[in-house]
Amino acid sequence: MKSALLLLVIALATASTVTDLTQRLSNYADHPFGSSMINLVSVNMKTGGSLNELKQLLQQIKDELIALTQLQDQENGTFTRRSQVDLAKLQATLEQAQQDLDNQRQEQSSLSNELTTLQTRVKEDQAALDRNGRGSSDAQSRLDAENADFATKYSDYNDAILACKEAQRLLLNLRGEGASLIQLTQDTKSNLIQTKENFQKIKEILEAHTKKSSLTLFQPIIEGLAEMTTKVNPETLNNVLSLVARLITALQEGQDQLEANHKTQVENLSRLGDDLRNEKQTLQVSLATANNRLKEIQSRLNELDGLINISNAIVEVTQLNIQDATRINELEDQEYSNQKVSRQTEIDIVDRLIEYINQKLSE
């Protein structure tokens, strides 16, 4: 009977303890740690365990919880600092990649503009070179024509002067023989006719390139020679001789003028040819330089295409890495915050239990 009563008392005391603890931890009734701790204290008190030992155990649990909280704080601080460093590195990589991309695009734009300008210059230089070639060919043709024309005209003058001198010799011989007093021989008559015909031919040949003042001398000479084929009048003979002498002088002056004009023309055309050759050399150098630069630009543009693709890829990947790192940091911060709240709740539960034990010890 006494044993049954004792058991009843213990059961009532245990029920009272559990009820009291549950009320004290009502805010943490659904917390797994709270339920475990209530069970721990209840079992200890049910089995008649030492409250002081229980208090020490709870204090040890609290100390471990505080130490764990401090460790988590340290780990979180280390993680935060490392994350900030990593994010800073990623941000620096992103900024550098964006700067590289901007620089590459600026260089690409500048080179593209230079490429367009050079392509226009190459076309202009090539067109100028073609014109130069045509100009050089024309200058050479004009020089060849000038030389040929001069050779023909110079020869005509030589032939005319020679014919005049031959006529002069014939007429001087006639005057020396006193031809006016004697009958002309058949040979002399034939020579005079031939000389007249020669002057007629010379006149026709020189009409294209002799002064008119010189040509006016031919007709009186031809008429005088025609008259002397029948009889030689001293006055006519002297007049023709005078005309022939004047004609020789005029022809020599014409020949000298022809030579001077030819020299001037040749100098001008030669100078033009030299200028065109110098221009051609300058254009060729300019064209070669432009073409070499075009190759350099095209090569660099091809290289820039690859570099821009790489920079774009770096920017995109780095942006994704930053997003991932930021999201991980946010998750870690949330996890740390949740753990800190949970750990503080556990410490609060232990504090309540220690307060309860202290109260029991003071009763």
Q: What does the H/E/C string look like for the chain?
A: CHHHHHHHHHHHHHHHHHHHHHHHCHHHCCCHHHHHHHHHHHHHHHCCCCHHHHHHHHHHHHHHHHHHHHHHHHHHHHHHHHHHHHHHHHHHHHHHHHHHHHHHHHHHHHHHHHHHHHHHHHHHHHHHHHHHHHHHHHHHHHHHHHHHHHHHHHHHHHHHHHHHHHHHHHHHHHHHCCHHHCCCCHHHHHHHHHHHHHHHHHHHHHCCCCCHHHHCCHHHHHHHHHHHCCCCCHHHHHHHHHHHHHHHHHHHHHHHHHHHHHHHHHHHHHHHHHHHHHHHHHHHHHHHHHHHHHHHHHHHHHHHHHHHHHHHHHHHHHHHHHHHHHHHHHHHHHHHHHHHHHHHHHHHHHHHHHHHHHHHHHC
Per-residue pLDDT for 119 more than 90?
Answer: yes
Distances (CA, A) of 31 to 25, 235, 303, 352: 10, 162, 65, 14
Does residue 178 have a pLDDT over 60?
no
Q: Are 240 and 169 in contact (CB under 8 A)?
A: no
Euclidean distance between CA atoms 269 and 241, whole angstroms: 41
Could you tell me which of 27, 55, 31 has the C-alpha nearest to residue 41? 55
Mean pLDDT, residues 21-25: 66
Nearest 5°: the CA angle 24, 25, 29 is: 145
pLDDT at 9: 33
For residues 130-135, average pLDDT: 93
User: Is residue 181 pLDDT above 50, yes or no?
Assistant: no
Distance CA 337, CA 69 (A): 11
Check pLDDT > 70 for residue 211: no
Of the pLDDT bands very low, low, confident and very high (cuts 50, 70, 90), residue 5 is very low
Residue 209 has pLDDT above 80, yes or no: no
pTM: 0.58
